[in-house]
């Protein structure tokens, strides 16, 4: 067999194997990035947030209609939300969007906190961050659960100096911001903080 014939009859390495390896590698990187966004605190949390130890900024607005967590008056119209009305209870202020991977990952923990909070004086309020599709928000809560008010309050993102979402702030019963969670939280973190500060 001539050298030319040998080259012609050599079996090429299957391209599908290479493509599969590349796809697996990309998948691993994507999973790692989602985990980092959801639970990694990173450099943004290296410095304490300026609001820690301060009175919580105003969180006010009309909750989205059509959500289970929206309180209504006798006429069936939504009742405006005002965080000042929550003084005496713990409040978790959560900034989120339906397009945010980390927000989707942390949502079951928020649902868990809502159930836990009913007997531990903790309420939740969500503030939309750059998510104009309110129908998508309604579908998200219908699908994933959650009965807390959801507000459209662009001013709040400025007042809370939001750098990335999800971001959450735990507000003590006296109205002081005492904890800041970046890139996703776990229910046990909030529960342990409240238990510790209440001396349980």
Q: Into how many domains does the chain fold?
A: 1
Contact by Cβ (8 Å): 81, 59: yes
pLDDT tens-digit map of 16-41: 556 655 555 555 544 444 444 444 44
Residue 162: inside a domain: yes
| pLDDT value of residue 44 | 43
| Nearby residues of 73 by Cβ (< 8 Å), 6 or more positions away | 79
Average pLDDT, the chain: 82
How far apart, in whole angstroms, are the C-alpha atoms of residue 125 and residue 91? 7
Q: Is the pLDDT of residue 1 over 70?
A: no
- What CATH number corresponds to the domain at position 100? 3.40.30.10
In a domain, 15, yes or no: no
Q: Is residue 164 part of a domain?
A: yes
- 């390896």: which residue's tokens? 21
State the pTM of this model.
0.75
Per-residue pLDDT band at 141 (split at 50, 70, 90): very high
- Copy the structure tokens of residue 73: 């008056």
Q: With respect to residue 73, please indicate whether it lies within any of the assigned structural domains.
A: yes
Examine residue 69 and state whether it is found in any structural domain, yes or no.
yes
Answer yes or no: is 5 within a domain. Answer: no
18, 22, 27, 28 alpha-carbon torsion, rounded to 10°: 100
Mean pLDDT of 150-176: 93
The count of other CB atoms within 10 Å of the CB of residue 13 is: 8
80 is a domain residue: yes
Task: Give the orientation angle of helix 101-117 with respect to helix 15-39, to 10 degrees.
Answer: 40
User: Residue 16 falls within a domain, yes or no?
Assistant: no
Q: Which domain holds residue 183?
A: 44-197
């Amino acid at each position: 067999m001539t050298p030319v014939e040998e080259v012609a009859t050599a079996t090429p390495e299957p391209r599908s194997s290479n493509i599969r390896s590349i796809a697996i590698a990309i998948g691993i990187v994507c999973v790692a990035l989602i985990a980092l966004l959801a639970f990694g605190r990173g450099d943004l949390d290296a410095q304490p947030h300026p609001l820690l130890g301060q009175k919580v900024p105003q969180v006010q607005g009309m909750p989205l209609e059509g959500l289970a967590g929206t309180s209504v008056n006798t006429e069936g119209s939504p009742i405006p939300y005002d965080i000042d009305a929550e003084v005496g209870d713990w409040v978790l202020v959560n900034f989120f969007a339906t397009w945010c991977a980390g927000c989707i990952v942390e949502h079951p923990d928020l649902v868990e906190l809502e159930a836990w909070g009913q007997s531990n004086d903790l309420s939740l309020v969500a503030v939309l961050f750059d998510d104009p599709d309110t129908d998508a928000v309604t579908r998200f809560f219908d699908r994933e659960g959650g009965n807390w008010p959801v507000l459209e309050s662009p001013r709040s993102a400025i007042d809370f100096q939001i750098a990335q979402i999800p971001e959450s702030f735990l507000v003590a019963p006296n109205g002081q911001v005492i904890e800041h969670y970046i890139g996703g939280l776990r229910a046990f973190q909030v529960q342990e903080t409240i238990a510790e500060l209440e001396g349980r």
